[in-house]
Amino acid sequence: MDGTGSTQVENFFVGGRSLPLFVIALTLASQSIDSNATLGNADLAYKFHYWDGAVLPMGLGLSLVINGLFIARHINEAQCLTLPDFYGKAWGPAVEVLVSLLTCISFICLLAGNLVGLSIIIRFLFGGELATSVFIAGIVTMIYTGAGGLLSVAYTDVAQASLGLLGLLTTSAWMLSNRSPDHPSPSIGFPGYLYPDDATCEAYEGVPAVYTEGACMYNEDVWGAGGVDNGAYPFGDKDVFNDGMMGIDAYNPFPNAILFNWATIFVLGFGNLAALDFQARCMAAKSPKIATMGNFIAAGLTFIVGITFSFMGGYTRLNYGPDSQFASFTVDTCSKFLDLPTCAAWEPDSTAFLKLTTTQLPTFLGCWVLIGICAASMSTSDGAILAISTVLSHNIARKAIPGGDRFSDVKLLTIVRVSIIPVTLIACIVASTYNETGYLLIVAFDIVLAGCIAPLFAAIYFKKSVYRITVLGCRCRR
């Protein structure tokens, strides 16, 4: 099998290789800005800080730039039906099957991450059990995907992407223009709270500490016995710490996950190059030039919409974070690394961002952003289900089943549609087991980063590479 196919198969797998620039750009952008990169983005920015969420669209946008510069045109020119076909042409059937397995496992995680996002919104709006909401999201997406191939998925994705991207950007713009210009100042504290330095003590008219010699504490006569805030940010909070990606002490006294943030950008920037749905869009483009330009336009949309949306997580932290009236803590469990005299671990609210959208935004914008997240997530989920199913049928079943290379178009497409069911079921189980937004996105592309990226570049730029090294690279990840 050389990776080419009949008109019927090509229409289902790669949209007849007929998609224009605007479809390629919007569908690629919608694959980047799904519930992992929106709800997960906001949740990470809320739980940690702005940059911890912003690294998701930064990494995904970077991958589109790299793909446009070095890979997209070659993928389009190869006239393949799936990404593993591209590996198979360069390295043979063994590598093709190994890559098929790795990319399918990766995309199960990606699909599960989107089902997590959809299920969280379903539970928040309608209630119910975790597993129930996950399976509702999975079944709806499965039925929606099974109705057509990539051609129908791509054009419905255009509508979903337009609705979702515009809603997310409009909401972010409204928050940026209507937020309070004042950031929380150094914490005033509560009875018994010790101030971190003399300047804060003087500003809040602190008094000598009772039990700690030389320290300055909260003044109940000035601020009252009920306390003013939680003292979570002794030196004050901001929606964005500008040196958060460069300074390890940017969030002092809290630790900065700077290494993990740069690692996330690297994993997404390069791992996403082996994304089945991304490269399926490149294969479906009318020409190599359209495939290339579509990546660049999608990268711009991802940067603009995704990074701007990270502010929503920052605002969620300001409204529902550790210094807010809604914060709850586990007493005396905070890390000793902080070296604070009064310390307790903050317990983030998993629905804080959704509460922000339904209470702090105008009703119309709140509805729009939730619909936008669902639309973007659906566009990625249907693409993921379709991509996994086509690879399972075309690259694995055809080789595993005797006589598979002689399958008719009807039989091949039947296998694709049937495989949608177990693919969705497995993703639902993963989503029910690990119900966290954002993390499964990184796991998904960490898998293919380790096993698929080196052979991909080698197939294009180092065709004389040693075959055994390529196979070893794929097998090490397994």
Bond from prior residue into 253 cis (ω within 30 degrees of 0): yes
pLDDT at position 2 is 47
Structure token pair of residue 191: 């009875």
C-alpha to C-alpha distance for 450 and 447, rounded to whole angstroms: 6
* 233 neighbors 317 (Cβ within 8 angstroms): no
Q: 194 has which bridge partners? A: 217
Distance CA 151, CA 304 (A): 27
| Separation CA 309–CA 168 (nearest Å) | 7
Beta-strand runs (E) in 239-343: 329-331
- Ranges under pLDDT 50 in the chain: 1-4
Cα–Cα distance, 241 to 53 (Å, whole number): 13
- Bridge partners for 14 per DSSP: none
CA atoms in the 13 A half-sphere facing the CB of 451: 26
Alpha-carbon 345 to chain mean position: 26
Residue-wise pLDDT tens digits, 18-59: 899 999 999 899 888 888 788 889 998 898 888 999 999 999
Q: Within 13 A of 409's CA, how many CA atoms are on the CB side? A: 10
Long-range contacts of 317-321 (CB under 8 A, 24+ apart): 317/45, 317/46, 317/49, 317/237, 317/239, 318/183, 318/184, 318/237, 318/239, 319/352, 319/356, 319/360, 320/46, 320/349, 320/352, 320/355, 320/356, 321/46, 321/232, 321/237, 321/346, 321/352
Distance from C-alpha of 445 to C-alpha of 451, rounded to nearest angstrom: 10
244: CB partners within 8 A, 6+ apart: 49, 50, 51, 250, 251, 256, 258
> Cβ(143)–Cβ(386) under 8 Å?
no
> What is the per-residue DSSP string for 201-260?
HHHTT-EE-SSSTT-EE--HHHH-TT-SS--S-TT---S--TTTTT-TTTTTTS---HHH
In 407-419, which positions are buried (b, 16+ CB within 10 angstroms) versus exposed (e)?
beeeebbebbeeb
Residue that is written with structure tokens 């799936």 in the block: 82
Distance separating alpha carbons of residues 135 and 471, to the nearest angstrom: 37
pLDDT at 337: 52
Measured distance CA(251)–CA(248) in Å, rounded: 8
Residues 441/37, Cβ–Cβ less than 8 Å: yes
What structural domains and CATH numbers belong to the chain? 7-180+245-477 (1.20.1730.10)
Angle at alpha carbon of residue 131, lines to 134 and 109, rounded to 5°: 50
Please write the tens of the pLDDT for every residue from 169-195.
999 999 888 876 556 678 888 888 889
Distance (Å, rounded) from C-alpha 112 to C-alpha 50? 24
User: Measured between alpha carbons, how far is 37 from 309 in angstroms, rounded to an integer?
Assistant: 9
Q: What is the pLDDT of residue 241?
A: 77
Q: Which three-class secondary structure state does DSSP give residue 331?
A: strand
pLDDT value at position 1? 44
